[in-house]
Each structure stands twice: as C-alpha cells, then as structure tokens.
Amino acid sequence: MDFGFNEEQERFRVEVREFLQKELTPEFWQGLGTKPPEDQEYSQEFSRKLASRGWLGIGWPQEYGGQGRPYTDQLVCAEEIAYHRAPILYHFWAVDLAGPVLIGVGSEDLKKAYVPGILAADINFCIGFTEPEAGSDLASLQARAVADGDDYVINGQKMFISLAHKADYCLLAARTNFEAPKHRGISLFVLDMKAPGVNVSPTPTMGDMLASTVYLDSVRVNKDALVGEIDRGWYHLAICLDHERIFVGALVARRRRMFDELVEYVRSTRRNGRLLNENPHIRNNLAQIGIELDVGRLLSYRTAWLLEKGAIPFAEASMTKVLTSELDQRLTNFGVNVLGLHGQLKQGSKWVPLQGRMEQAYRVSILESIGGGTNEIQRSIIALMGLGLPRD
C-alpha cells in the first residue's frame, strides 16, 4: 500500500503554494476586501493567472488544451487553492462542471467554440438544472425545448442558479421528449445568457452568493447548441458529478484553514484572565473536529484515487460530501460560539475576530448540505450504491 503523494506531486504542491503566497498579498486582499463577500471570491483576473499556468485544465485531455494529468494532481492544486482561499467563482462552473461535459460528449464544433475560452478564463458558465418543482427529483424537470427549423425554442423556469447574473453561458437541461420515461427525455444545451427571452432575477442566499431564478421565454438556440445526444442529457449529467467530486474533496482544505485559524485564536486569546486553550470544553471539541477533518481529507483522497483507477465512486463521493458538509456546520457553529458575541458580527466591523470569516463561513455551511444534492439524497445514494440496500 502506497499511502501518500509521490515526489513530483509534492513538488507540484510547493509550486502551487509558492505561487499563491506570492499572488495573494495583503494588497490583493485589501482590494477585494472593499467588495461585497460574494465578489471577494470572484475574480476573472485571478482565474486568468491560474489559466496562464495551465492550472485550470490539469485533468483535461491534452488535445483540448489540458494537461492530461491524474485526478490526484488536480486535487493537490485544488486543495492549495482552497486552503489559501483564492477566488475561484469566476471559473468554477465552467471548469469543473460545464467544461468536462463539453469535452466528454460535446460535438467538435462546440469544443472548438467554448473549451479554449474556458481554459483561458475568457468566458464563464452557470449550470441550469434545478427548477421550482425539480430539485432532488431532477429528472422531473419541465423546461421544454421544442424543435423549430434550425432551432430549439425553450420555455421554462430555472431556480437557485449560482451566479447566473454574471455568466456568459449556461449549461442548460431541458425536456425534449414528452412521451418517454422522465429520465429518457432530457437534453443539454449551451445557452447564451444574453439571448433574447433570457431573464435573470438574482436572489440573495444566506451565504451571500446570489443564486438566481432564470426565466426562459421562447428562447431560440441553434440545434448546434445541443450537447451530446438528444434525450440522453440525464446520462451526460453524470460527467458533471464526477468532476464535482474532486471539488468537494478540495473543500476540506478550506475548512482546515478555518480550523487552523480557530486553534491559533484560542492559543492567543484570554478570557476572564485565562487562555482559551486551557478550557477543556474547547480543547475536546477542537480535538474532535481535528479528527473529523483528517477523516474528510482521507475520504476525498480515496475518491480521487478511485476516479483515477477508472471507478465511479458514487458512495465514496457522497460519504465525503455528507461528512464534510456536516463537519463544516459543527466547526463553524462551534467557532462562532468560541469567538463570543463579537464572533457574530459581520466582515468589516472593527470588533469582529478573524476578520468576520467565521460568521460568514457559518452561514455558507448551511447551504453546503443542500447545494449539489441534499445530504438526505446523498445518504440514499450511500445506502443504495454503497450498502446495496434496495431503492427507497
């Protein structure tokens, strides 16, 4: 059993870390610090810097401008980026979700049209799957795409679409066959978000990021915008999930950073004359969270390793997501309590400890057990695919 990264990967980790430390200077953060929290994680300029090093397409095939490297290399890079809290929201949906689907099943014309722009961080995507009546049961989606000459005409409504108001394009799921069983009548399209009939209504979330309702009113897309086979969209979506799994793993590193800062805080902060790190309740909780962070990290490595071996780690990826999202809720809930009443103040207040990051992370943590598929659904996947229990 070889338990660890190879020398080349360790060197790569150092290279990414040094780059991030050089780029993410106090001046860089100061510039972002004046923006609302959502925009602090959104920077096309920074995404372009990653792009210029080839780090947006580490796991992508070389023929499409990627580096063709293993998933674990991609995870190493993603972990460092997450630990350093580098902004990724400009490119995330394009690189981790839409791009892999285009490469996997898109036509050559679609690949030529969008893949270079994604890899250069010149264009970005949102993901338009969820609808008011189709979230967990996504296959019930009702947006309709009806063929009309060279086009499809699309009508419907999408909900909770992250950063749709800033996206150039959307990877959209719509129903193209109204007679077939629900999983067999869905197709994917590239939708230009500036097309006539697309209306975006941004909705604030408790995590600051805007997740929009998108209204589609007789929107015309050319038939060339169909991604993959007609009516096979449900099966093409699995590609999105594979790549999202790597990202979920990398998020453990973001939690580790929050944890490290909390440990440092209790080491250096006195309350009622005593250092917080002498408090047994605080020590026990930190020890427990530290254990779970390590478990989450190992689970994420196992997921990447399985992907590299060609397996599809349904259950393992769901385990990572459930464990780490709920751990995040425990960590940030505990963190906000340890910081005391000032810990509930928002970023920008002169009294808030840890620059208000704990309070913001606490609000974001609530969304993490919902976005990308709720934890109830993840548990159902673990029962079905991991334990072999019957479908509920």
Ligand X SMILES: Cc1cc2nc3c(=O)[nH]c(=O)nc-3n(C[C@H](O)[C@H](O)[C@H](O)COP(=O)(O)OP(=O)(O)OC[C@H]3O[C@@H](n4cnc5c(N)ncnc54)[C@H](O)[C@@H]3O)c2cc1C
Q: Which is closer to ligand X, CB of 172 or CB of 286? A: 172
Q: How far is the CB of 387 from ligand X (least distance, A)?
A: 16
| DSSP output for 60-128 | S-GGGTS----HHHHHHHHHHHHHTT---TTTHIIIIIIHHHHHHH--HHHHHHHHHHHHTTS--EEEE
CA 26 to chain centre: 25
Distance of CA 24 to the CA centre of its chain: 21
Q: What residues make contact with ligand X under the rule CB under 6 A?
A: 126-130, 135-136, 160-162, 205, 207, 211, 367, 370-374, 376-377, 380
- 161: part of which helix (H) or strand (E)? strand 151-162
Least distance from ligand X to the Cβ atom of residue 266, Å = 30
Per-residue CA distances from 287 to 134, 211, 283 (Å):
40, 35, 6
Closest chain position to ligand X (CB): 135
Query: What is the closest distance, in whole angstroms, from the C-beta atom of residue 392 to ligand X in the complex?
Result: 7
CB crowding 64-83: b at 16 or more within 10 Å, else e: bbbbebbbbbbbbbbbbbbb
Residue 164's closest CA among 89, 82, 244, 247?
Answer: 89
128 vs 343, beta carbon nearer ligand X: 128
Q: Report the alpha-carbon distance of residue 93 to residue 121 in Å, rounded.
A: 11
Instruction: Compare residues 33 and 204 and give the one whose CB is closer to ligand X.
Output: 204
CB of 131 to ligand X, least distance (A): 8
Judged by beta carbon, residue 60 or residue 160, the one nearer ligand X is: 160
CA 289 to chain centre: 22
Q: Closest distance between ligand X and the C-beta of residue 39, in Å?
A: 16
DSSP strand pairing (270-271 vs 186-192): unpaired
Select 49 or 379, whichever has its Cβ closest to ligand X: 379
> Which active-site residues does the annotation give?
244
